[in-house]
């Protein structure tokens, strides 16, 4: 089982070969069982989705890096459960990624994340952290200034709040 740490950091060689993620989440009548394979820079995530203890679907998704956490939410307040799975790439940047899905009675949609705007990406070099906070998905990362080394950002921390919007029949997390 993966142990959560306060910040994203590149795993050691031992962790790369041994880490596995498993988590079960419940949102109203839905249950989500998430697991990943134990090794490799690209892993397979398996998510079993049930409603009222009846298996609805099994989703298989390749993930870049290792999965570090998963959370449920209803960011667009439509009573359809959403699941957000956070991963982190290997290497010195430890770039974060969000895999999101929204579930309806007879279907599901993938949730996409808009890229950072040029202004929000100033000083960005990875080391992302994601969490749910006050009906928003929040992304936090250190700000690097000219001359900073990868291990020591001196520009503070940027916090970006995302809202879920339906844009041309596509669910997209948009920075505010």
Pick the range with the lowest mean pLDDT from 119-123, 146-150, 164-168: 146-150
Give the DSSP H or E segment for 15. Answer: helix 13-18
Alpha-carbon span 174 to 164, nearest angstrom: 6
Number of residues that make up the chain: 176
Contact (CB, 8 A) for 59 and 46: yes
Residue 158 in any domain: the answer is: yes
Residue 156 in any domain: the answer is: yes
Token pair recorded at residue 53: 């203890």
Residue 149 in any domain: the answer is: yes
Residue 6 in any domain: the answer is: no
pTM for this predicted structure: 0.86
Total domains in the chain come to 1
Which CATH number characterizes residue 141's domain?
A: 2.40.128.460
- DSSP secondary structure letters along 31-94: EEEEEE-SSSSEEEEEEEEEETTEEEEEEEEEEESEEEEEEEE-TT-SS--EEEEEEE-SSSS-
pLDDT tens-digit profile of 26-84? 999 999 999 998 777 788 999 999 999 999 999 999 988 889 999 999 999 999 999 99
Residues near 176 by Cβ (< 8 Å), separated by ≥ 6? 136, 160, 161, 162, 163
The residue range of the domain holding 132 is: 13-175
Residue 3 in any domain: the answer is: no
Residue 161 in any domain: the answer is: yes
């Amino acid at each position: 089982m993966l142990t959560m740490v306060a910040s994203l950091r590149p795993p050691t060689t031992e962790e790369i070969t041994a880490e596995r993620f498993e988590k079960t989440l419940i949102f109203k009548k839905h249950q989500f069982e998430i697991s990943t394979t134990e090794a490799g820079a690209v892993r397979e995530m398996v998510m079993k989705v049930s409603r009222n203890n009846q298996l609805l679907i099994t989703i298989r998704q390749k993930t870049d890096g290792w999965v570090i956490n998963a959370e449920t939410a209803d960011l667009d307040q439509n009573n359809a459960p959403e699941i957000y799975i956070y991963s982190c790439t290997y290497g010195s940047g430890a770039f974060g990624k969000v895999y999101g899905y929204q579930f309806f009675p007879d279907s599901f949609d993938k949730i996409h994340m808009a890229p950072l705007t040029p202004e929000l990406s100033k000083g960005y070099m990875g080391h992302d952290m994601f969490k749910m906070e006050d009906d928003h998905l929040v992304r936090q990362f250190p700000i690097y200034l000219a001359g900073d080394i990868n291990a020591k950002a001196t520009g503070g921390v940027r916090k970006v709040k995302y809202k879920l919007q339906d844009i041309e029949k596509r669910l997209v997390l948009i920075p505010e």
